[in-house]
Amino acid sequence: MRRIHYGTGVVLTTDDVADALLRLNVALANLSHTERVTIPVASGESTDGSVDLILGPGIAVMSEPAPWHGDEPDFSTGATLLRMHPHYPYRRPNGHAQPMMPIEMDNWDPDLEGY
């Protein structure tokens, strides 16, 4: 489990969700884009909560290990939804991470590297 520090608040979520959240935040910051996302969180023995966060440039998000007693909740759906975000970075065959962005040839501008 991981504690996510956001602003003055702290929430608890799984390692998988925390990793996807941080990767998406970096991708959005690199694109100078801001998005609202929802992540599943746990508190005490309850694992059915969620929070909305704003991600993007200039928004500090920190993750640190957190103790958890018992089985870790299954937040795999929340992590998958973050990874399905259109700007979530994926690995190209050459190993470089790139945001998943549809490129329409009508909008291609070589002076802006296509975007």
As beta bridge partners, residue 110 has none
Q: Residue 113 pLDDT more than 60?
A: no
Determine the average pLDDT of the residues in 4-18. Answer: 94
The model's pTM is 0.77
How far does CA 34 lie from the centroid of its chain? 12
Closest CA to 27 of 72, 109, 104, 85: 85
| Residue 54 pLDDT grade (very low, low, confident, very high; cuts 50, 70, 90) | very high
Say if CB 89 and CB 23 are below 8 A apart: yes
CA distance 65 to 82: 20
